[in-house]
Structure 1
Amino acid sequence: MSIVARILAPVGRAIVPVKLAMRAIRRNVMRATLTVLGILIGVAAVVIVTSLGTGARDAVSRQLDTLGSNLIFLFPKSTAASGARSRTVTGRITEDDARAILRESVSVDRVSPTISTRVQVSNGDSSYSTQINGVMAQWFSVHNWTFSAGGPWTESDALLKAKVCVIGQTVKSRLFGSEDPVGQVIRVGNYPYRIVGVLAPKGDLFGADQDDVVATPLGGVRSRFARMPPGTVQMLTMTATSADTTDRAVEQVTEILRQRHRIRDGAQADFDTRTQKQIQEIQGTIFTVLTVLLISAAAISLLVGGIGIMNIMLVSVTERTREIGIRMAIGAREGDILLQFLIEAIVLSCFGGLAGAGVGAVCVAGIGRALGWSMSVSGLSLAVSLITSAIIGIAFGFFPARRAAKLDPIEALRHE
């Protein structure tokens, strides 16, 4: 025998089980199709769920970015007051607090006090209820608002509590349609307000329409609509100098307000802070948990598909017992029989994985278009799906393959 023949002989011997496995699959196309269905559904579910989780996380991040960057929110909080009778006291946040924070904190870039309430706005026959925000001019830069028409009010307007306002795109559409509203007068509650600017659209945030808003000088809202004590506000929104200084800014703000509000060490503060990063982390945790739960459900489908492959392969071994006996009689070894049936299981499982990845990719594209999200199937998820399919084929195909390899040749030849 030549050297080339000696080299190619093991290769040819290894190819034989592959050919036999593929031939067996082609002889039973319907059975093979039903066998891979469970794997197909499981892999498609994993691909879809993974892409949905990534798409949802990115969509929420984009929505949070519309709020602004490096944001810190500060709210008054009810605390238990000491004394003979237990009672709760709601803390107060003031404009002086905002000025003190801006003056004393080196990690805070801007501060915007805010008072919000619901009011009825109308123009002619058009009228509906919307949110009015009493703010200072820096509110627009803190929240990354830009103007599609007009601009903010002047400092003198703020000092005089002038009846001027800036409206969002939803308010403009509801009250004016396509007409330019800048310079026109609308009724806000029982007061006439002149429109000086229109905000550029931002879209929804967690289901709430950010463009359904009227912004006006802080003092006017406090005296006319909210009826709050002079100088008090409902919330402070701050921006840190950078993303890296957000935690340091929270520490500085907390220390400044504890001193201003005369809160003793160890006592509960009458205010609470939340950062944009904390909100993003909470959202990320929620999406991670949901993704894990959904992938676990999809993994059950993969397990069912693997059991289906094992059952079908056991039936195939029973049906082909005589064929196995003939192969053994003409020289096939246990390893050859084992390899043949193991290859059948792996091929079926991998085919199901490929089909599932394709179906998942098509579904992801359709869901992305329907939801308006930027969704795509990552190469990592496809690789993991295919590797998982191969592992399932090996794991669930080994027992039937070993059973076939351990058949007694004489008993197998006698099988009818």
Structure 2
Amino acid sequence: SSLVGETIRIRGIPFEVIGVLAEKGSQGFSNPDESLYIPLSTAQFRVMGSDRIRSIAVQAMSEKTMDDAMAEIDLKLRREHRLRPEEPADFNIRDQASLLATVQETTQTFSLLLAGIAAISLLVGGIGIMNIMLVSVTERTREIGLRKALGATGTDILLQFLVESLVLCLAGGTLGLVLGVGGAAVLQKLMGWTMVVAPEAIVVAIAFSASVGVFFGIWPARRAASLAPIESLRYE
């Protein structure tokens, strides 16, 4: 690399670059490609000003030998810390598998939390749509009576209001989908994150919007379909 042989300063102390490691990519909240490695004693006494070590990163020879490596590290640290076998360890040993499990558990918790928020939002939005459709039925009572007088059946009126509710929800779902995809694109551009909108998520979002429209539009549609033609025409 072109950096080899160059001099950089860390807290005002000059260091000579003697090598550059291969890229490994981001690992969650940490990025090893943005790390600098300097001699331990130099870091302790000249850079950090402390001889305490908070963490040690160890790489096993292979995934199969990881458990053996952890057991060996545990035995070594217990000897260095003068701990008896029955005494609890005053250190923690974590492997990538446990970290991955923790991340997955946290992700699942956030997914459930977001699903709960989305469910509440759908419920509130559905109730709002139902109220709007009920008001629409009341305001269009004469129209419903006129259509029935001209030969429209209760099924025709039912389908009319169900379609209106369905279209209303699909329009809202499409708008939310556009905002979500647009927000993901903006975050990807501004924050440099890699974000992909799965096609399945788009299908599920549209299907949920349609389901909300049908479910909360049934009562107003049935109420409109059950109106008597003569009473509807007399409605003021």
For Structure 1 versus Structure 2, the TM-score category normalised by the shorter chain is 0.7 to 0.9
- Go from structure 1 to structure 2 and tell me whether the alpha carbon gap of 1:247 and 1:319 turns closer, same or farther (over 3 Å shift): farther
CA distances 1:355-393 after superposition (whole Å, capped 9, x unpaired): 221222122111110110111211121111111101100
**For 1:285 and 1:294, how far apart are their aligned partners in 2?**
14
Could you say which residue in structure 2 is the equivalent of 1:358?
178
SS at match of 1:344: helix
SS at match of 1:373: coil
Gaps of 5+ in 2: none
The residue type paired with residue 112 of structure 2 is V
CA distances 1:288-309 after superposition (whole Å, capped 9, x unpaired): 3334334433443333322221
1:197 aligns to 2:51 (yes or no)? no
Could you say which residue in structure 1 is the equivalent of 2:123?
303
8 A Cα contact 1:148 1:198, kept in partner: no
Q: Which has the higher contact order (CA 8 A, sep 6+)?
A: 1
- Go from structure 1 to structure 2 and tell me whether the alpha carbon gap of 1:215 and 1:355 turns closer, same or farther (over 3 Å shift): same
**For 1:227 and 1:310, how far apart are their aligned partners in 2?**
66
Return the match for 1:246 from 57, 66, 71: 66
1:215 aligns to 2:31 (yes or no)? no
Aligned length: 233
1:310 is displaced (CA, Å) by: 1.0
The residue type paired with residue 375 of structure 1 is M
- Go from structure 1 to structure 2 and tell me whether the alpha carbon gap of 1:325 and 1:234 turns closer, same or farther (over 3 Å shift): closer
Could you say which residue in structure 2 is the equivalent of 1:141?
none
SS at match of 2:167: helix
Structure with the higher fraction of residues in strand conformation: 1
CA distances 1:88-126 after superposition (whole Å, capped 9, x unpaired): xxxxxxxxxxxxxxxxxxxxxxxxxxxxxxxxxxxxxxx
- Go from structure 1 to structure 2 and tell me whether the alpha carbon gap of 1:375 and 1:235 turns closer, same or farther (over 3 Å shift): closer
1:287 aligns to 2:107 (yes or no)? yes
**For 1:200 and 1:249, how far apart are their aligned partners in 2?**
24
1:252 is displaced (CA, Å) by: 4.8
Q: 1:101-180, aligned counterparts within 5 Å?
A: 149-150=3-4, 172=8
Return the match for 1:396 from 209, 216, 221: 216
Could you say which residue in structure 2 is the equivalent of 1:323?
143
1:274 aligns to 2:94 (yes or no)? yes
**For 1:258 and 1:395, how far apart are their aligned partners in 2?**
63
When structure 1 is superposed on structure 2, of 246-255 and 302-311 the one drifting more is: 246-255
**For 2:101 and 2:75, how far apart are their aligned partners in 1?**
24
SS at match of 2:59: strand
Return the match for 1:382 from 181, 202, 209: 202
CA distances 1:288-344 after superposition (whole Å, capped 9, x unpaired): 333433443344333332222111211111121122222223333222221221111
- Go from structure 1 to structure 2 and tell me whether the alpha carbon gap of 1:245 and 1:349 turns closer, same or farther (over 3 Å shift): farther
Gaps of 5+ in 1: 1-146, 152-165, 176-185
The residue type paired with residue 4 of structure 2 is G
**For 2:2 and 2:42, how far apart are their aligned partners in 1?**
24
**For 1:262 and 1:274, how far apart are their aligned partners in 2?**
21
1:337 aligns to 2:157 (yes or no)? yes
**For 2:30 and 2:58, how far apart are their aligned partners in 1?**
23
Structure with the higher fraction of residues in helix conformation: 2
SS at match of 2:99: helix
Question: Quick check: which has more Rg, 1 or 2?
Answer: 1
Return the match for 1:368 from 177, 188, 192: 188
The residue type paired with residue 139 of structure 2 is E
The residue type paired with residue 133 of structure 2 is M
Q: TM-score, normalised by structure 1?
A: 0.47
- Go from structure 1 to structure 2 and tell me whether the alpha carbon gap of 1:247 and 1:372 turns closer, same or farther (over 3 Å shift): same
SS at match of 1:273: coil
- CA RMSD of the aligned region, Å? 3.7
Could you say which residue in structure 1 is the equivalent of 2:57?
237
